[in-house]
Amino acid sequence: MTSKEKAVFLLIPIVAALLVLLGGRTATSQGATAQQQAQTLVNHLEGVPSGPIAAQGNYVYMAFQSKLVVLDTSDPTAPRRVGWLFFTSAILDMELRGAQLYLITKNGDFHIVNVANSGRPVIEGLLRTTSSNYYSILADERFVYIVGEGAIDVVNVSAPSSPKFVGHLAIQANVVAVQGGYLYWAGYGGVEILSVVDPANPTRVGSYVPSGLDTGATILLANDRAYLTAHTGNDCGRGGCYDSQLIILDISNPTSPVELG
């Protein structure tokens, strides 16, 4: 089981429990009926791929193996395919920032796709690598962080037509998140926080070790909060993970994260 699969495996029961609890509280506090809470399915698409997906405005970008498909969902009851783009290898992950869609493919290539005209996406920048172990991608204002097994490569994308490698971090992390010039990675030992203002020279500024637990499985950032799932044990695929918990951290001061619950 890969690190991403571990994170999903551990997060599913926790999220499910939270949804049940939150749903119960909403019904009790507001006296909402089941009919009022019901959601309406307006449409669904047969054969939609289970690969990465991104959305902005009325447009949805879906990966199907080596093909990128663009859907116009301005009428959600009748989504229309308005654009597509082919690559030489399967798309592993992607992230959309403004008019740029950043993605990595199985052969290790990093692409910048311009989607200013959603109906005609075009490859604006390409950076070829020799790595075949990438599995995730993160982006902030100027940099993209390509996560692989045991390392993170940092790419400067301020000039989309000529992306450049500017940093390499040797990190064995289960999951990585980036926000406001700080990179958070969760793995064995908890959470480490790095300043990546200068990505060529990352600096460790803070950390958090969950009490009684030894491994951070996944982390989600939302403004001044970090939501961390943690557990004990490493072999989740064989039932070797236990005592899983959801931990909420105050990260308003990244150098000193505080556990809230």
Q: What is the pLDDT of residue 228?
A: 84
Domain 174-261 has CATH 2.40.10.480: yes
Average pLDDT, the chain: 79
Share of the chain above pLDDT 70, in %: 72
How confident is residue 111, by pLDDT bands cut at 50, 70 and 90?
Answer: very high
Mean pLDDT value of segment 121-129: 93
- The model's pTM: 0.73
Which helix (H) or strand (E) segment is 229 a member of? strand 225-232
Contacts of 47 (CB under 8 A, 6+ apart): none
Instruction: Name 169's bridge partners.
Output: 152
- pLDDT of residue 244 exceeding 50, the answer is yes
Helix (H) or strand (E) holding 4: helix 3-30
Q: Look at residue 214 in the predicted model and tell me its pLDDT.
A: 56
Average pLDDT value for residue range 157-164: 94
Query: Which of these ranges, 35-44, 69-78, 116-125, has the smallest mean pLDDT?
Result: 35-44
The two domains 51-170 and 174-261 share their CATH topology (first three levels equal): no
Looking at residue 211, its pLDDT comes to 73
Measure CA 3 to chain center: 13
SS3 for 220?
strand
The region of weakest confidence among 40-44, 118-122, 220-224 is 40-44
| The residue type at 243 | D
pLDDT at 210: 78
Question: Considering only CA atoms, which of 181, 62, 187 is closest in space to residue 118?
Answer: 62
Q: Is 13 helix (H, G, I), strand (E, B) or coil?
A: helix
pLDDT tens digits, 44-88: 555 555 688 999 999 999 999 999 999 999 998 999 999 999 999
257's tokens: 């994260």
Q: Where are the domains of the chain?
A: 51-170, 174-261
* Residue 243 token pair: 């005592």
- Residue 186 contacts by C-beta under 8 Å, 6 or more apart in sequence? 173, 174, 175, 176, 216, 217, 218, 219, 228, 230
- pLDDT, one tens digit per residue, over 199-233 is 888 888 998 887 766 566 678 899 999 988 876 65
State which H helix or E strand residue 104 sits in. strand 100-105
The highest-confidence range among 16-25, 109-118, 235-244, by mean pLDDT, is: 109-118
Q: Which of 103-112, 145-154, 215-224 has the highest mean pLDDT?
A: 103-112
The CATH homologous superfamily for domain 51-170 is YVTN repeat-like/Quinoprotein amine dehydrogenase (2.130.10.10)
**Residue 28 predicted with pLDDT over 80:** no
- Phi, then psi, of 174 in degrees rounded to 5: -75, -40
